[in-house]
């Protein structure tokens, strides 16, 4: 389950964090964070440690993300109203284009040495420090989790599992002036090429459900 978040300010945490009960060992060292400079998003993948005490945190939480250099010189702050410790394992937060009119230029961004994340309610706090902070260099290279091919006596079944990172690019045409949309989808099997249904593919990707295509043997001839 992912948390798709928009940037908001939360001063309550800054004023009340000294009264919060800290919850430890909530996430493992396999958790990681990435930055997508083109989409201006920070993506945090949380690896849950299944510590029962961490479920004490409420469903309404604030999330603070602090980076370890001056490229983004502020703490990014968000609110989320449907958080679940055991289910919410993906956090996405927008990077603002400017701070009080001063642009945030990600062109010279380099790999971070650390990123600190605080997840907090009015009574509990989870702190996560990630030592690896990778840059997603291509905005379209991590669009899918996997491609599965199932072989049956009468047909081939292809199953594509989408990943959230390209949800802003894999879209349908919204107007006649829209030039950034998926125009065709091609599946190559050896020397054979097949064009998939764009509308179904895009709809499934936006809904984050698998896309399935069946090809019969006569189509491969």
Tell me the per-residue pLDDT of 5-43, one tens digit each, with 9 for 90 and over.
333 334 444 445 568 899 999 999 889 888 877 678 888
113-120: average pLDDT: 85
166-189: average pLDDT: 71
CA dist 51 → 42, 58, 95 (Å): 25, 15, 31
128-157: average pLDDT: 75
Q: Which residues contact 54 (CB under 8 A, 6 or more apart)?
A: 23, 25, 26, 85, 126
Q: How many CB atoms lie within 10 A of CB 17?
A: 15
Identify the pLDDT of residue 149.
83
Identify the pLDDT of residue 14.
45
Domain ranges of the chain: 2-135, 144-220
How many whole angstroms separate alpha carbon 38 and alpha carbon 95?
Answer: 11
Host H or E run for residue 201: helix 198-207
**Sign of dihedral through CA atoms 77, 79, 84, 87?**
negative
Phi and psi (nearest 5°) for 15? -90, -25
For the entire predicted model, the pTM comes to 0.57
Identify the pLDDT of residue 176.
57
State how far Cα 199 lies from the chain centre. 23
CATH class given for the domain over 2-135: mainly beta
């Amino acid at each position: 389950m992912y948390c798709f978040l928009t940037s908001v300010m939360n001063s309550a945490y800054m004023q009340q964090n000294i009264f919060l009960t800290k919850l430890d060992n909530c996430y493992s060292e396999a958790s990681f964070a990435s930055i997508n400079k083109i989409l201006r998003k920070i993506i945090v993948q949380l690896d849950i440690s299944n510590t029962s005490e961490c479920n004490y945190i409420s469903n309404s939480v604030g999330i603070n993300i602090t980076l370890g250099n001056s490229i983004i010189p502020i703490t990014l702050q968000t609110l989320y109203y449907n958080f679940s410790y055991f289910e919410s394992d993906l956090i996405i937060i927008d990077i603002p284009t400017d701070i009080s009119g001063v642009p945030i230029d990600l062109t010279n961004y380099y790999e971070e040495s650390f990123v600190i994340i605080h997840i907090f309610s009015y009574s509990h706090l989870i702190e996560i420090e990630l030592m690896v902070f990778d840059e997603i260099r291509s905005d379209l290279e991590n669009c899918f989790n996997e491609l599965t091919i199932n072989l049956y006596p009468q047909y081939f079944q292809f199953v594509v599992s989408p990943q959230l990172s390209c949800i802003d690019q894999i879209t349908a045409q919204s107007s006649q002036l829209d030039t950034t949309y998926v125009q065709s989808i091609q599946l190559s099997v050896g020397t054979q090429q097949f064009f998939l249904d764009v509308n179904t593919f895009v709809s499934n990707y936006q809904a984050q459900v698998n896309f399935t295509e069946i090809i019969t043997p006569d189509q491969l001839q």
